[in-house]
Structure 1
Amino acid sequence: MKYRTFGKTGIKVSEISLGTWQLGSKWGDPVDHEKAHLTLETAIQNGINCFDTADVYQGGLSEKIIGEHIKDLAVKPFVITKVGRKLPEQAKELYTEQSIRAYINDSRKNMNVEALDMALLHCPPTDVYYTPEVFEYMDKFKKEGLIKHYGVSVERIEEGLKALDYDGVDAIEIIFNMFRLRPIETFFKKAKEKNVGIIVRVPLASGLLTGKYHERTTFGEHDHRTFNRNGEMFDKGETFSGVDYHQGLKAVEKLKKAFKTDNLVPYALKWILMFDAVSTIIPGASRPEQVTENIKASELSILTEEQMKSVQKIYDEYIKNPVHYLW
C-alpha cells in the first residue's frame, strides 16, 4: 500500500481506503456483522488506514461496527464520517448549530470516541455553501474538541469550489472516475493551491466500471441501481455517476479493449491515482474479497500515456454529453 499526505492535515492516509456504505451487506440487505468485521480486518491487514462512513449508513450501524472494531487497536485508522442527511428535509435553514452538533454527538457516541477524526457535511444543499454561519459552527465544534478536522462531501463542482473559500475546510469528498472527468479542469488545481485533501467517492460508478455488468444484469429491489436511475430518491449522479446504464455498458466495452482485460477494477482505480491532487479513494466493499481486489490498484505500474488518452477519448465519445455539464 502506498500513502499520500491528506492535504493540510499532514496525516498520511492509504491511497486506497475503505468506503463503508454497504459494509457487511449488499445494497438494501441486512448487515452480516461477522462479514463486516472481517472486511474491516482485511482492510487493516492490507495497509488501509482510512475508513469513510456516515451517520445514515444502516441507521448508524456502520459507525457502530467501526467503533467496535477499532476500540482496542493500538494504532487506529483515520475515520471520516458524514453528517446532515438525517435532517427531515435538505433545507439550508435546518443546518443549525443545534442540529449539526446533535448529529456530531450521535456519531461520537456511535464510534465511542471523544472527537471525530473528520466530519464532513453530507452533500448539503448548494445554498449551504453560501451560508458562512454553517462553517463557523464547524470551526466552533473543532475548537470545542468535538471534531479534529472537517470538510464537505459535494455533488457539484460549484459546491466544491465554493467550499474552498472557507479556511477551515480540510477536505472535500467528490465523485471522480473514468465517467466523471470534470474535476480535472479547474477543481483539482484550486484544491491543490489551498492544500485541501481530496477524497474520491463513487470511483467505480456504482460498479459499472468493474466491467462485470451486462444488459441482463439485475439489481435488488432495495438497490439504488434499481430505483434511482433517474434521481427518483436522491441526486441521480450518485447512481452510475449519472451515466445512462446502457450507454455506460457501451463505453465499458471500449475500455475493456483499451486495457485488454475484462476486469477493470484495478485500472479504473489506478487511473484516479494518476492525479496527484487526489489524497485517497474510498471504494466500497461488502466482503473481504472486494477489499483485496481494490488494493491491487496501488500495486499497478503507472498507466501509459496511450491508456490515459484512451479514457479521455472514450469519455468524449460516449459519456461527456450530457454528464459533463450536469455536475
Structure 2
Amino acid sequence: MDSRPLGTTGFDVSEIALGTWQLGGSWGSVTNDEAYDAIEAALDAGIDFLDTADVYGDGDSERRIGDVLADRDDDVTVATKAGRRLDPHEADGYNRENLERFVYRSRDNLGVDSLDLVQLHCPPREVYYQPEVFDALSELRDAGKIDHYGVSVEKVEEGLKAIEYDGVETVQIIFNPLRQRPAELFFREAARRNVGVIVRVPLASGLLTGALSADAEFAENDHRNFNRHGEAFDVGETFAGIPFEDGLEAADSIQEVVPEGVSLAQFTLRWILSFDAVSTVIPGSKTPEHIRDNVAAASLPPLSADQFERVEEVYNAYAREHVHHRW
C-alpha cells in the first residue's frame, strides 16, 4: 500500500487507515478481544495511521490502541481528538486549562509522553474565531505534550477558517460519493497551504458498503439508531446526513458501475483516493476481514471517466439537495 504525506507533519501515512470510533462505542458493544483483533489486523495489513478520540467509549478506544502498540514494534502514527468531553459542549470550554487536561488524559490512555496529532473534535463554530484556542494548542506543542495539531470539522466553511491558522496542519472532514462538496474549494485550498486531509465517514455509516437494506436493524447503542435524525449530535455524522432510504437507492445506483470482483466499499475508497488532496482515509470496522478488504482498495486501478460521471449523477439525483449546502 502506498503512503502519502500528511501535510507538513513529516508523517507519511498509509492511504487507507483505521478509524476506531467503533472500537470504543456508539456502534454497538465491542469486547477488548474484538478491538485488539481489529487493530492487529490493520497493522498486519500495512495500516500505519490510527484515528481515535478521548470520548470513544470514554477512553476505551485510546486505551485499546495503547495496549496493542505496547506489545508491538510498529512505526504507527496515532491521531486523537479533544473537546467533546466538555459538558456542556460550548465554545468557552475550549480554553488552555481544559485542552491541557484532555491532552494529559489521552497521553495516559495511549501510554505516551507526547501525542502525535491532536485534533479539536468538531467544536462549535465560534471556536474557529478564537485565536486563543489555537495559541493554547501551540503552547502545548511547544511544551512537548503534543507533536502536531489539527481540527476535525463538520462543515467546509469551518475547515476553510481553520487552515487560516498557521499551526493547523491537518483537517479531518467527511467526504464520500454522497458528500462531495469538499472537492469544490476546500481541497484546493488545503493543497495550496499543504494541509493534510483526513477523510472520515467514507462509507457513509455503512450505506456505501452495499450491506444494508431497508429492514436493517441497529443496536440501541448504535448511533445509526439513536442519531438517525440528529438527536445526539450532528446528523451529518450518521449516514453522511442523507435520508436512509435515499442513501440505499444511491448505493444501488452506484453499484451498477462497480467492476466485477470489487465491492462497493472498495470502489468508494478508490474513488476517494482519486483526489490528490486526500492524505488518508479512515474507514472503521470491527472485523479483520473487512479491514483487509478496505486495504485492498488502495491497489485497485484508477476509475474510468464513465464511473466518475455515474457517481456525479447519483450525487445530483439522491444526495445534493440534502447535504450540499448544509455541510
**Residues 170-208 of structure 1: CA distance to partner in whole angstroms, max 9, x if unpaired?**
100000001000001000000001100000000000000
Tell me if 1:326 matches 2:307. Answer: no
Q: Please name the residue that 1:311 is paired with.
A: 311
Tell me if 1:51 matches 2:50. Answer: yes
Tell me if 1:132 matches 2:131. Answer: yes
2: distance between equivalents of 1:158 and 1:198? 15
TM (norm. structure 2) is 0.97
- 2:25/2:57 contact within 8 Å kept: no
TM (norm. structure 1) is 0.97
2: distance between equivalents of 1:51 and 1:114? 17
Most deviating of 181-190 and 74-83? 74-83
- 1:142/1:148 contact within 8 Å kept: yes
Q: Please name the residue that 1:276 is paired with.
A: 276
The verdict on how the C-alpha distance between 1:13 and 1:228 changes in structure 2, with shifts beyond 3 A counting, is same
Structure 1 residue runs of 5 or longer lacking an equivalent are none
Tell me if 1:99 matches 2:101. Answer: no
Q: Please name the residue that 1:119 is paired with.
A: 118
Q: Please name the residue that 2:251 is paired with.
A: 252
- 1:24/1:39 contact within 8 Å kept: no
2: distance between equivalents of 1:26 and 1:120? 20
Q: CA deviation at 1:274?
A: 0.1
The verdict on how the C-alpha distance between 1:24 and 1:172 changes in structure 2, with shifts beyond 3 A counting, is closer
Q: Please name the residue that 1:238 is paired with.
A: 237
- 2:148/2:169 contact within 8 Å kept: yes
Q: Which amino acid aligns with 1:179?
A: L
2: distance between equivalents of 1:65 and 1:215? 33
2: distance between equivalents of 1:156 and 1:196? 16
2: distance between equivalents of 1:250 and 1:266? 18
Tell me if 1:14 matches 2:14. Answer: yes
Q: Please name the residue that 1:83 is paired with.
A: 82
**Residues 267-316 of structure 1: CA distance to partner in whole angstroms, max 9, x if unpaired?**
00000000000000000011211211111111111111111111011101
Mapping of 1:162-177 within 5 angstroms?
162-177=161-176
Q: Please name the residue that 1:287 is paired with.
A: 287
- 2:120/2:151 contact within 8 Å kept: yes
- 2:20/2:51 contact within 8 Å kept: yes
What's the secondary structure of 2:215's corresponding residue? coil
Tell me if 1:37 matches 2:21. Answer: no
Most deviating of 222-231 and 154-163? 222-231
- 1:157/1:183 contact within 8 Å kept: yes
What's the secondary structure of 1:259's corresponding residue? coil
2: distance between equivalents of 1:241 and 1:212? 16
Question: Aligned-pair RMSD on alpha carbons?
Answer: 1.3
Structure 1 consecutive aligned stretches of length 4 or more whose deviation exceeds 2 Å: 72-76, 260-263
Aligned residues: 326
Q: Which amino acid aligns with 1:114?
A: D
